[in-house]
Structure 1
């Protein structure tokens, strides 16, 4: 159940039918945009008597939403879905747990992201990262989180960063993955104090050591300026804030370091890339998972690697 919500009473829901790719993109985009303690999303297949199978999106709100604002956000993915969206009131139940209870653990490289009910299913050879069902954001089922975990695993095949920075840590899943794979210090930051507290609690529950947590308004804050440089910087947020932190991030990156950016729709990736190229970084690898792009960047030090030429796609 969402923290702070009583088990009974009413909840607000928005529903719209859309093609599969649009439905998934809308659900993940809204899930990445709003506070996970206040909003949950679900994209699922439905049966239509006249047209056969299709897909639908449902977005649940703890408080009455600003319909115009929500429609504007959906329109960034699909103007047609934004126009057709229907808002209504329904009886509240434990809808977050219900929407996630059927989700299987997600295996990405050496990591398995899972709920407490699947703890026993994690193989001893894997790094299990447990995120409770009530924390929908950052469960590992998002293409953005998967892309970042793949990038962390790929870095591990080359070596270990001396220090890692996780910007916009959310549930802390990326910080925990880096800490448990590399066994080197990680700084996890977020502009949302609730997210920082949540990530800290998750790290404690997962016995992930070596992570420091910081609540800060942005990378220009003094703690970042005095923290030194990082060999690996992770930022799984959205296009606008990613562009905004490009300049203050650059001085934090160590020589030969690596930046991993995600939270990007495929159509937004080039705009983010342009902002970081302006700071002297080049594309190393591009991954696309279910319509969401993850970019790996590095400082210019000669020719870009060959694997930057073609995007890596997985469906």
Structure 2
């Protein structure tokens, strides 16, 4: 009998054309594969050419995908119902990292985010290294960059905060940026994905951010929204950042608003322009008012302020089963 360990499963890629609208909607559809032992990683990109509506979906599988998995993938992009998917075996390489090696550094306000150690730092900016291929929130996505711009602007107009929470932190980037702007603040960063929390810890060390529960430190927790005893105990917060998705943002409106102090600020991102009204309605119902809106392409960043009313109360949800999950994104 051969006692040698079995070789790791080879990676396969399935490619289908899709529309831009289908690509944008896929952020909320990844949970379709949650029951699989090794769910695929879905990536969308512009197909190139003159048609701005022409996009493509690439799904990366560990092991050759079963026909049922391919059919499930096809169901996510109805426009490709009559198209034959391209199925190919990939070389034995780290395709997640390779797929992002072409990412360029991003500058947002005073912040400069590079995704590779080899990239030079930008003089005169606050530099962060968030390596590509590790989790959502490298600074590349318009929603993350929009949050960085908003945080930078808030500091420039003289806003001050002492207790900050970044819900759906992804890589920890936004919590790190907030701590740089307000170094005497307490900072809390959480994500529903424990892997994202682990990655945030590694990124904190790489960027000289101290992990802990004290002033000028970031406390990391794995939690669905604010559903964690430590997150509740550290409330109320005068600044909460939530870069997730429109659906989870709406579900989490009562619990997020409950942990914000009266007069406190809430930054929302991860929603599309056409989703802004529905998200705003959910938060206005919780006593929030819109103070500022900044759009980057189709992605708005909203700054809201909590209207003074009757004291602070414990977090509650619209639905006890609503966990605010955003698989693959906010983990935004």
Q: Is the 8 A contact 1:42 1:99 kept in 2?
A: no
Please report how far the alpha carbon of residue 59 of structure 1 lies from its aligned counterpart in structure 2 after TM superposition: 3.3
Equivalence for 1:96: 96
Distance in structure 1 (CA, Å) of the matches to 2:241 and 2:52: 42
Asked whether 1:258 is paired with 2:260, we answer no
Distance in structure 2 (CA, Å) of the matches to 1:52 and 1:100: 21
Moved more, 245-254 or 39-48: 39-48
> Over residues 130-173 of structure 1, what are the superposed CA-to-partner deviations in whole Å (9 max), with x where a residue is unaligned?
11122252111111111111111122112221111000111111
Kindly name which structure, 1 or 2, has the bigger radius of gyration based on alpha carbons: 2
Relative to the length of structure 2, the TM-score reads: 0.74
C-alpha change, 1:90 and 1:268, in structure 2 (3 Å) is farther
C-alpha change, 1:214 and 1:52, in structure 2 (3 Å) is closer
Equivalence for 2:317: none
Please report how far the alpha carbon of residue 252 of structure 1 lies from its aligned counterpart in structure 2 after TM superposition: 1.2
Once the two structures are superposed, the pairs formed by residues 48-67 of structure 1 within 5 Å of their partners are 55-62=55-62, 64=65, 66-67=69-70
Secondary structure of the corresponding residue to residue 137 of structure 1: coil
C-alpha change, 1:235 and 1:7, in structure 2 (3 Å) is farther
- Which residues of structure 2 form unaligned runs of 5+? 1-5, 211-216, 309-332
Q: Aligned-residue CA RMSD in angstroms?
A: 3.5
Q: Is the 8 A contact 2:266 2:303 kept in 1?
A: yes
Distance in structure 2 (CA, Å) of the matches to 1:175 and 1:7: 39
Give the paired residue count: 288
Equivalence for 1:308: none
Please report how far the alpha carbon of residue 279 of structure 1 lies from its aligned counterpart in structure 2 after TM superposition: 0.0
C-alpha change, 1:7 and 1:230, in structure 2 (3 Å) is farther
Q: Is the 8 A contact 2:115 2:132 kept in 1?
A: yes
- Which residues of structure 1 form unaligned runs of 5+? 1-5, 302-315
Q: Which of the pair is proportionally richer in helix? A: 1
Please report how far the alpha carbon of residue 220 of structure 1 lies from its aligned counterpart in structure 2 after TM superposition: 3.8
Q: Is the 8 A contact 1:147 1:289 kept in 2?
A: yes
C-alpha change, 1:178 and 1:221, in structure 2 (3 Å) is same
Distance in structure 2 (CA, Å) of the matches to 1:30 and 1:117: 33
Q: Is the 8 A contact 1:12 1:87 kept in 2?
A: no
Q: Is the 8 A contact 1:8 1:91 kept in 2?
A: no
Asked whether 1:281 is paired with 2:280, we answer no
Relative to the length of structure 1, the TM-score reads: 0.78
Secondary structure of the corresponding residue to residue 122 of structure 2: coil
Please report how far the alpha carbon of residue 291 of structure 1 lies from its aligned counterpart in structure 2 after TM superposition: 2.3
> Over residues 56-82 of structure 1, what are the superposed CA-to-partner deviations in whole Å (9 max), with x where a residue is unaligned?
34232446484565456x45xxx4257
Please report how far the alpha carbon of residue 240 of structure 1 lies from its aligned counterpart in structure 2 after TM superposition: 2.3
Moved more, 87-96 or 181-190: 87-96
Distance in structure 2 (CA, Å) of the matches to 1:85 and 1:149: 41
C-alpha change, 1:55 and 1:246, in structure 2 (3 Å) is closer
Distance in structure 2 (CA, Å) of the matches to 1:201 and 1:243: 30
Q: Which of the pair is proportionally richer in strand? A: 1
Equivalence for 1:213: 220
Equivalence for 1:307: none
Distance in structure 1 (CA, Å) of the matches to 2:219 and 2:7: 34
Equivalence for 1:168: 168
Secondary structure of the corresponding residue to residue 16 of structure 1: strand
